[in-house]
């Protein structure tokens, strides 16, 4: 299994040099988020990921979870690692101190999530779901629900789930059939079956808090008739401790392609006791609190996989001897040169690296804006940040997970035949990465969300949060000779994005299928432009720091920026052409002809 080392130099570069995240300490509630404290947290997280989580990643995949009459046991080492995770206070890192959390910025938690997912994606699923449940209850729960559940979720001694999908419906949640019948004591009885429930049953925590979508008896049809309920595995007693076993049980676990150490459960609710979260029939708005946070978290999973794949591929490429360099032997004292000298291997490694580092910058920027949207004292600035996060969330989810899968596949290719063999560990990354493109809304759904909801929201207000500052930056940067090799290609790609947006606005109004046909290409076009913008800013910093104490680091940044602009960004031309070709050829073939 390839070893993992947290990319702390690059993480610090993005957080402190690029995003100036040290300024977060000036925001209300973030006084403790000083650079020294954040650096110590990042270093500790990197050590935990490398020393505790990565060593049980491959073995966890080999063993998988065990199911026995409704009980699920995680693989060897997971329970011990989770106990250390809780002991270290990691579950409460971004949570409100009122409930026992550390109250640190979300963007710092993004970095920690990336490291955890690089080292062991299956493990990261368990606390990741708990954090989603915490977010939903914090915003929509009653005071009593918050008092009861949040401290337990923050401490990590209880965990959480999202119970959405049913056997007959996934994306179209308006079709759910799970019922919630009112009880005399103010609670509800939940009856129905949910599938694909990550961490629905396991042995890591003393209780599991299920957040369940269900219909009340008087519910209107469709998504407007869905309510959200909290349904714990064990009903809390008067002291708030696990009491009577609830009628919410795991019927089976899935046998999956990847993330095998994460229990994916069929959950049967047979008159299970639950309590309403938020208002009746308003469950979708409450659930989207979890969903939007989960989509960003899944984006970080893609980033984590990509980084792990790159590290493994680089180590192998430097060690594996095959043939001589085309320009002559580079290591004449060896029987052959390491494959890192070969142009095609370098193409794959640089593609992995340039996209991964661009994705890290983009996602951390979104994380920073997420913190600003919650904590900045100026209401207008909070709204601007919230708009930008909403706009970029589908891009972070879809593009970063597409890239994670691409990077893992490129990693297998660098390894050659050994990449196809399980013991080397690279093929596991491919299998683990694949689900990230599917759950929390498939990547096709992310494209529809971007095109169908985000572009038109507020008469284009969300778009302006990105277009206006990017345009101003690129106009200024392109006027400076040293920046032109980065700013001019980005400016051209940005113009393509603007043209594509205008085309979508016109054609989508005439025929919504045109917007649907273009959605995936448009999202990728947008993502590449966003990455180009981040690379321009990183290149600008690298140019300013040439010859300094970290000269080699900054020279590498410039090399990656140049590769991105010359070899990767031109894909925007193809995307623009396919996007504006319209959807006629997609829709012309009759369904019965497939």
Mean pLDDT of 335-361: 98
Structure tokens at 486: 């980065």
Structure tokens at 46: 């990197």
**Is residue 366 scored above 70 in pLDDT?**
yes
Question: What pLDDT does 488 receive?
Answer: 98
- Gap between the Cα atoms of 300 and 412, Å rounded: 21
Q: Which of 166, 254, 427, 440 is an active site residue? A: 440
Lowest mean pLDDT among 178-192, 498-512, 563-577: 498-512
The C-alpha angle 368, 373, 376, rounded to 5 degrees, equals: 95
Pairwise pLDDT comparison (538 vs 223), residue with the higher score:
538
Mean pLDDT of 477-503: 98
- Gap between the Cα atoms of 256 and 340, Å rounded: 34
Question: What pLDDT does 399 receive?
Answer: 98
Question: What pLDDT does 415 receive?
Answer: 98
Element (H, E) at 303: helix 283-319
**Is residue 548 scored above 80 in pLDDT?**
no
The answer to whether residues 209 and 158 touch, using CB atoms and an 8 Å cutoff, is: yes
- Backbone φ and ψ for 479, nearest 5 degrees, come out as -85, -10
Place of tokens 């909801």: 453
Question: What pLDDT does 1 receive?
Answer: 65
- Written as one string, the DSSP assignment of 117-145 is HHH-HHHHHHHHHHHHHHHHHHHHS-HHH
Confidence of residue 509 (pLDDT cuts 50, 70, 90): confident
Residue 440 annotated among the catalytic residues of the structure: yes
- Gap between the Cα atoms of 65 and 58, Å rounded: 13
Mean of the per-residue pLDDT values for the chain?
96
Strand partners, 191: 179, 270
Strand partners, 43: none
Strand partners, 160: 209
- Per-residue buried b or exposed e for 520-537, using 16+ beta carbons within 10 Å of the residue's own CB: bbbbbbbbbbbbbbbbbb
Give per-residue pLDDT as tens, 200-257: 999 999 999 999 999 999 999 988 999 999 999 999 999 999 999 999 999 999 999 9
The answer to whether residues 169 and 232 touch, using CB atoms and an 8 Å cutoff, is: no
Give per-residue pLDDT as tens, 264-284: 999 999 999 999 999 999 998
Residues contacting 214, CB < 8 A, separation 6+: 176, 178, 179, 180, 188, 190, 192, 226, 227, 229, 274, 283
What does the longest C-alpha to C-alpha distance in the chain come to? 83
The answer to whether residues 570 and 563 touch, using CB atoms and an 8 Å cutoff, is: no
Give per-residue pLDDT as tens, 109-124: 999 999 999 999 999 9
Dihedral sign for Cα 39, 41, 47, 49, please. Answer: negative
Mean pLDDT of 16-43: 95
Nearest residue to 353 (alpha-carbon basis) of 576, 116, 54, 553:
553
Mean pLDDT of 476-484: 98
- Gap between the Cα atoms of 243 and 232, Å rounded: 10
Question: What pLDDT does 528 receive?
Answer: 99
The answer to whether residues 214 and 141 touch, using CB atoms and an 8 Å cutoff, is: no
Nearest residue to 111 (alpha-carbon basis) of 41, 171, 205:
41
- Gap between the Cα atoms of 375 and 474, Å rounded: 29
Lowest mean pLDDT among 75-79, 171-175, 519-523: 171-175
């Amino acid at each position: 299994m390839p070893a993992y080392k947290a990319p702390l130099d690059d993480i610090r570069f993005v957080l402190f040099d690029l995003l100036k995240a040290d300024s977060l300490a000036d925001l209300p509630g973030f006084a403790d988020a000083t650079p020294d404290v954040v650096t110590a947290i990042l270093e500790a997280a990197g050590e935990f990921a490398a020393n505790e989580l990565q060593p049980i990643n491959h073995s966890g995949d080999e063993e998988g979870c065990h199911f026995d009459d409704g009980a699920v046991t995680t693989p060897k080492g997971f329970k011990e690692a989770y106990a250390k995770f809780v002991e270290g206070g990691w579950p409460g890192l971004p949570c409100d101190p009122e409930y026992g959390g550390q109250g640190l910025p979300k963007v710092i938690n993004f970095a920690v999530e990336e490291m955890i997912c690089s080292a062991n994606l299956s493990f990261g699923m368990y606390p990741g779901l708990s954090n989603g449940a915490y977010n939903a209850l914090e915003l929509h729960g009653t005071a009593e629900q918050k008092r009861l559940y949040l401290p337990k979720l923050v401490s990590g001694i209880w965990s959480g789930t999202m119970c959405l999908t049913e056997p007959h419906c996934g994306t179209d949640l308006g079709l759910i059939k799970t019922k919630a019948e009112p009880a005399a004591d103010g609670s509800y009885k939940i009856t129905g079956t949910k599938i694909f429930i990550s961490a629905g049953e396991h042995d890591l925590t003393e209780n599991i808090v299920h957040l369940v979508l269900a219909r009340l008896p008087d519910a209107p049809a469709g998504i407007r008739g869905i309510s959200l309920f909290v349904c714990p595995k064990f009903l809390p007693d008067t002291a708030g401790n696990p009491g009577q076993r609830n009628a919410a049980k795991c019927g089976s676990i899935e046998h999956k392609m990847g993330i095998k150490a994460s229990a994916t459960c069929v959950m049967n609710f047979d008159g299970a006791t639950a309590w309403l979260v938020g208002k009746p029939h308003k469950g979708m708005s409450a659930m989207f609190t979890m969903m939007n946070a989960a989509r960003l978290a899944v984006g970080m999973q893609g980033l984590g996989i990509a980084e792990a794949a790159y590290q493994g591929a680089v180590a192998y490429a430097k060690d594996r001897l095959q043939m001589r360099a085309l320009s002559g032997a580079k290591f004449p004292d060896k029987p052959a040169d390491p494959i890192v000298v070969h142009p095609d291997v370098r193409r794959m490694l640089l593609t992995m690296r340039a996209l991964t580092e661009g994705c890290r910058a983009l996602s951390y920027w979104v994380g920073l804006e997420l913190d600003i949207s919650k904590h900045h004292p100026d209401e207008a600035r909070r709204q601007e940040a919230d708009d930008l996060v909403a706009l970029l969330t589908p891009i972070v989810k879809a593009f970063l997970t597409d890239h994670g899968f691409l990077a893992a596949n490129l990693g297998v290719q660098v390894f050659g035949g050994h990449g196809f063999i399980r013991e080397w560990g690279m093929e596991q990354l491919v299998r683990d990465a694949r689900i990230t493109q599917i759950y929390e809304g498939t990547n096709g759904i992310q494209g529809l969300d971007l095109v169908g909801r985000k572009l038109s929201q507020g008469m284009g207000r969300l778009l302006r949060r990105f277009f206006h500052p990017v345009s101003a930056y690129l106009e200024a940067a392109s006027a400076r000779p040293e920046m032109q090799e980065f700013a001019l290609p980005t400016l051209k790609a940005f113009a393509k994005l603007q043209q594509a947006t205008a085309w979508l606005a016109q054609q989508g109004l005439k025929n919504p299928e045109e917007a649907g046909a273009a959605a995936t290409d448009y999202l990728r076009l947008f993502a590449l432009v966003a990455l180009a913008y981040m690379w321009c800013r990183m290149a600008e910093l690298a140019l300013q720091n040439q010859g300094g104490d970290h000269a080699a680091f900054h020279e590498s940044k410039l090399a990656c920026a140049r590769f991105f602009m010359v070899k990767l960004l031109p894909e925007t031309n193809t995307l623009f052409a396919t996007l504006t070709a319209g959807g006629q050829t997609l829709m012309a073939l009759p369904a019965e002809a497939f």
